[in-house]
A and B are shown apart, each in its own frame.
Chain A
């Protein structure tokens, strides 16, 4: 038995846990080896000293404070396995810390991202609008003729019906009017024109045409020319670029609208002519029959005129100032009514005489007609596009930088406020936890 083995066994020997044989071997070694014997004696001595160490008495307030803690523990929610749940809590808190941290980071990123996206979206929506204008028109182009036919039919049928009704009305009206004519000689001329108008139906016609055209400017001038030839006029027009091509301004597509007025009898012809200028994507005709209102207004005017005449007669007879004033007032009211109504009649006449046509022109590039030769400025355009993209990227980076820089004070303030707060909270929870334990 050598010394190393002995050292391993001394401890067990002291505790008397070795079997008889090993014990004898050890004792034999101790006799031979003074060093090991000394070690053994020292160890035994230390062991004895250890076991002689005095037992301490419990502190006097031990049981009292323990009792307090135990009572408090019963008041707390019964936690079944405190040891496990505590380690769990610790882990949980640590995890929470991470979770809160990442949440804060995500929040900041979201703020930045959303503000950046807002800008991007603003640019994007403009582009989208341009695209959106083009696509529905393309869709319509194919299916345009179908809705046109039935609409026209419905329109004419409705008109025929109203025509019949008007003729009946007209006859009843004619019965009353001869008396008026006899009564007033002065207004005979106006009445005559009114009567002339009465023989016709008062219909305000308006047409709507949406056209896809190829050469916008040419078509536009054609329409104005036709209008002028037919004795009409352009009431208003509006032209704008739908898609502005920076490289080739002459290739930019235009869009525009016109409101033209043509004599009622030329209406159908002009409309057909305009339709032939391009692809019709949408068309409609509407006729507003105002014959009834027109007639009743004209009658009203007649009646008011009769009333006016009789008022004048009364005026001549009137002697007292009071009467004169009263009649005067009534007279002016009647005159006002007449003026207002004849204004209406005039406006109607105008609307009926000159029909309105709303034209919308939408320029389309004719890409399917011929194969374009490759334009010589492809390289230039590519270069421009490249520069544009680079500029956009720089701008984006700038925006990111500006956004971060501008939110930096907020983040700093949050940090400055947050760090002591978290330290305080951390300590507080720790203290609380210690107390609980």
Chain B
């Protein structure tokens, strides 16, 4: 850990808001993006990130440098997101991105926009949208590893620290998550082809 960072952490522990803001400046965009990929929309991502960062600030006293500050911060962010998802599950908030669970499998709630598929330029956008939706359709434990590994490109080691799991578990979880994602995308393509 850099001297500079340690100093900022010490100042933050004493309640210095400015130091804390400098400390998190380089991390907050990534944190926000993790939250966005996890939660699927901008408003929730904003709320969750802020909540997580306030939490980080409040509990910085208990940070003693066991891991790097960024890892610790992302851990709090991901935990906050997982909490939020759990809360959502309890409140049964339906999102258009989430497939509706039915007895005979999943029915996509997605509203197909007929205007988007006609133009070539939009194809890339369509692809992005597809993959975003597919990620949203993943179970949260899979989603988080995809977000951390494939979208944000964190190493296995970092992920295992953030999620507080052994690396072996992370390896198999990433593997399963990727396969699940592939499954979702191919299924989607099958369903959507007749419409296009």
Contacts and interface: CB of A to CB of B under 8 A. Distances in A.
B178 interface: yes
Given A39-B182, A74-B15, A50 B54 contact: no
Contact of B54 (A12, A56, A63, A73): A73
Interface residues of B, number: 48
Interface stretch (A40-48, A132-140, A406-414): A40-48
Nearest to A39: B182
A53 B131 contact: yes
Nearest to B147: A50
Given A62-B46, A80-B61, A46 B178 contact: yes
A55 interface: yes
Nearest to A83: B59
Interface stretch (A3-11, A103-111, A175-183, A321-329): A3-11
Contacts, number: 115
B174 interface: yes
Contact of A12 (B21, B135, B171): B171
Q: Is the interface of A mostly helix, strand, loop or mixed?
A: helix
Given A46-B181, A47-B150, A63-B21, A55 B59 contact: no
A11 B29 contact: no
A70 interface: yes
B53 A66 contact: yes
A66 B56 CA distance: 12
A196 interface: no
A289 B151 CA distance: 119
> Which residue among B21, B30, B32, B58 has the maximum number of chain A CB atoms within 10 Å of its CB?
B58
A50 B185 CA distance: 12
A334 to B, nearest CB: 104
Contact of A50 (B32, B53, B150): B150
Contacts of A272: none
A62 B53 CA distance: 11
> Which residue among B30, B79, B153, B171 has the maximum number of chain A CB atoms within 10 Å of its CB?
B171
Interface string A26-66: 00000000000001001100110111111111110011011
Contact of B46 (A49, A55, A59, A437): A59
A117 interface: no
11 contacts: A11-B174, A11-B179, A46-B150, A46-B185, A59-B46, A62-B50, A66-B50, A67-B17, A70-B54, A80-B59, A81-B59
Interface of B: 15, 17, 20-21, 28-30, 32-33, 36-37, 42, 45-46, 49-51, 53-55, 57-59, 61-62, 76, 79, 127-128, 131-132, 135, 146, 149-151, 153, 156, 171-172, 174-175, 178-179, 181-182, 185-186
Interface of A: 7-8, 10-12, 14-15, 17, 39, 42-43, 46-47, 49-59, 62-63, 65-67, 69-71, 73-74, 78-83, 437
